[in-house]
Amino acid sequence: MKQATIYHNPRCSKSRQTLQILQDNGVSVNEVRYLDMPPSIEELDALCHAMNITPQEIIRTGENLFKELKLSLNDDRSRNEWLEILVENPKLIERPIVKVGHQVVIGRPPENVLTIL
């Protein structure tokens, strides 16, 4: 049986739909409620590397918090600084993020998860 880790917010419909797709496909799922238990900087960095993207690419720029913190994706910050911002403000992390083996995708749309099953 395949195993997956899903970083999600159960209040988010896309997260719930992605979780359902995993379960419907017989995948054993480890749920990480990242708002309660944010990933470490190292974990988040590894997820970004696995998707071949920068931390800025998983930022929810539409969140009020993004504006409140006066952030801009054009800010001159290091990769590590962006990771720190995300870990300190997990509400800004795009969701859900699903890891199966060494493959990682963002479940938007939820069907994206099928590409790594």
Q: Catalytic residue positions?
A: 12
d(CA 31, CA 22): 11
AA letter at 98? V
